[in-house]
Structure 1
Amino acid sequence: MRSPSRRAAARGLPLRAVAPNAVTALALCSGLTGIRFAIAGQWETAVVMVMIASVLDGIDGRIARMVRGESRFGAELDSLSDAISFGVSPALILYLWSLKELPRVGWLCALVFAVFCALRLARFNAAIDVVDQPHKSAGFLTGAPSPVGAGLAMLPLYLWFWTGLDWWRSPLIVAPWVALMAALMVSSVATFSWSSLRLRNNIRFEAIAVVVLLGAALISAPWHTLSFLCVAYLATLPFSIAAYARIKRLRGAVPGPASARTSPEGAGAAP
């Protein structure tokens, strides 16, 4: 007699899981289409395709939770989509745009970015069931998420779009920048998790106004706005590192059960 899990696997995916998986598949298509436009030299459209993939990647998980359509299949498809849309696609776009002028070093940087993105996703999947995750339990992420890493890696492209300065296209600038963003994705740096942030009631209206202004800025001046967002995100890194170090220090200062029993200070401590 088959177990319930095997019977569920034999029946296949529930109908409610189709919607989030379809959104994930659209994100994958969008990321791959960015490569097609890069081959044609349509750089702005190529970047827009990666941005669309990041938006779709941000909503597929929420749709899955809303319709209770989470599945192991969806998680694996999401990781595959992220590896291609935010690893392979930006790497090839940047290589065709700039890095091909340094064929060996440029291709090496593109490879490193794509592979490091896949490694980050593999690390995330391997630790998804691990209970003891210090960064996650404190409300932080480990390294830059893959959509953020892709957006940061293309910062020279944004600057080139709105300044028109060819030196932003120089592989001597793009190659080390891409390598640095690849390292940031797989690093152990504590970064802010925006899903863990909680707004106070008295600033919710202001937060909505900021989102509206940001949306208007993205429509009217997309490359200026994306450049500002990249710089702003990088500027938060020292604060996230310091915030996590403070939380880690406070956790270390809290006595455990054993120390409370053995230390003189813990002998008369209140429960």
Structure 2
Amino acid sequence: MAGPFPPFEPHGGGGPKLSEIPLRMLVPNLITVLAICAGLSGIRLAFEHRVETAVVMVLIAAFLDAVDGRVARMLKASSKFGAQMDSLADIVNFGVAPALVLYAYLLDRAGALGWIAALLFAIACCLRLARFNVMLDDPTRPAWQADYFVGVPAPAGAALVLLPVYLGFLGVTPDRVAALAACLYTVLIGFLMVSRLPVYSGKYSGSRVPREYVLPLILGLALYVLLLTSFTWLTLSASAIAYLVFLVFSVRAYARRAGKEEEAERAAEDAD
């Protein structure tokens, strides 16, 4: 007799049929669900004027959303279902939740302009994620470009757009002038997400660390975590500003790399 729920098909109708699903297949999906819960809880806390906790919940959601894919690969539990669920969760955690937290804290002081800015950011996040999913299957994209995102990635955009909140916790008065400035900043971050700006990711070439840099890297990460726990909002503000500055160097590195690849292609054609 069939149960009240349809059977779980992690790989879709065309994948292998499993009579029992290994528990490891469910772990990444559970992490994704927890990320959604954290993001939505952040929205509720923001409208209850518990903004500091709301920001922490949004950042936790972003962290969990970044972890679930890696956990799936480590456990060899990647599935089509998990990929689709993760993509939908990204819209909530990186688009809707940060926009509404920022609106509840500051953008609402700008009236309709604040709401428009929040909507534009959320829509930009959806467009960014849709383009990312499409480009994963692009066979014409050169292999070296896999080290670069096209536009600011959604997790970074979510952390960047909350910069006005970090500054507010450091003493910047959340008045109407600050709200209007935050509207412009929010739209700018949304534009950077949907732009074709090359953003270095190091996803492939940076997967290995030279031996002499291992200990300094560990020490640097430990220092950053300590600063984050001791001077949370100052560290987050500095990190957001540093990331914006890093975008300039990323564009320059991409241009140099593109020039070298073009020269190599011309040399190969001349040799033929």
> What TM-score do you get using the length of structure 1 for normalisation?
0.88
- In structure 1, the residue matched to 2:129 is 121
| C-alpha contact (below 8 Å) 2:148/2:198 kept by paired residues | yes
- C-alpha displacement of 1:58: 1.6
1:8 alignment partner AA: G
Aligned CA RMSD, in angstroms, stands at 2.3
From 90, 96, 104, the counterpart of 2:98: 90
Distance 2:57 2:127 in 1: 23
Q: How does 1:1-271 map to 2 (within 5 A)?
A: 6=13, 8=15, 11=18, 14-15=21-22, 16-134=24-142, 137-166=145-174, 170-196=178-204, 197=206, 198-255=208-265, 259-260=269-270, 266=271
Conserved 8 A contact 2:94-2:158: yes
Q: Assess, with a 3 A threshold, how the Cα gap between structure 1 residues 235 and 258 changes in structure 2: closer, same or farther.
A: closer
Shift of 1:219: 0.8
Structure 1 SS opposite 2:196: coil
CA distance in structure 2 between the aligned counterparts of 1:169 and 1:39, rounded to whole angstroms: 21
Unmatched tracts of structure 2, length 5 or more: 1-10
User: Partners in 2 of 1:125 and 1:18 — Cα distance?
Assistant: 22
- Give, in whole Å, the separation in 1 of the partners of 2:75 and 2:48: 39
Q: After superposition, what is the alpha-carbon deviation per residue over 1:230-260, rounded to whole angstroms, capped at 9, x for unaligned? A: 1111111111101010111111111359833
Deviation at 1:163, TM superposition (A): 2.3
1:149 maps to amino acid: G
Residues 134/220 of structure 1: CA separation in 2 closer, same or farther (3 Å cut): same
Write the deviation string for residues 94-115 of structure 1: whole angstroms up to 9, x where unpaired: 1111211222211111110001
Q: Which amino acid aligns with 2:250?
A: S
AA matched with 1:219: T
Greater C-alpha radius of gyration: 1
Equivalent residues of 2:146, 2:203 under 8 A apart:
no
- Contact 1:160–1:169 (Cα < 8 Å) also in 2: no
Checking the alignment, whether the CA contact within 8 Å between 1:135 and 1:142 is kept in structure 2 is no
Q: Which protein is richer in helix relative to its size?
A: 1
- Preserved contact between residue 138 and residue 247 of structure 1 (Cα < 8 Å): no
Q: TM-score under structure 2 normalisation?
A: 0.88
1:237 maps to a residue whose letter is: L
Identity %: 39
Decide whether aligned partners of structure 1 residues 7 and 110 sit closer, same or farther in structure 2, where only a CA change above 3 A counts.
Answer: closer
More moved, 167-176 vs 75-84:
167-176
- Aligned residue for 1:141, secondary structure, equals strand
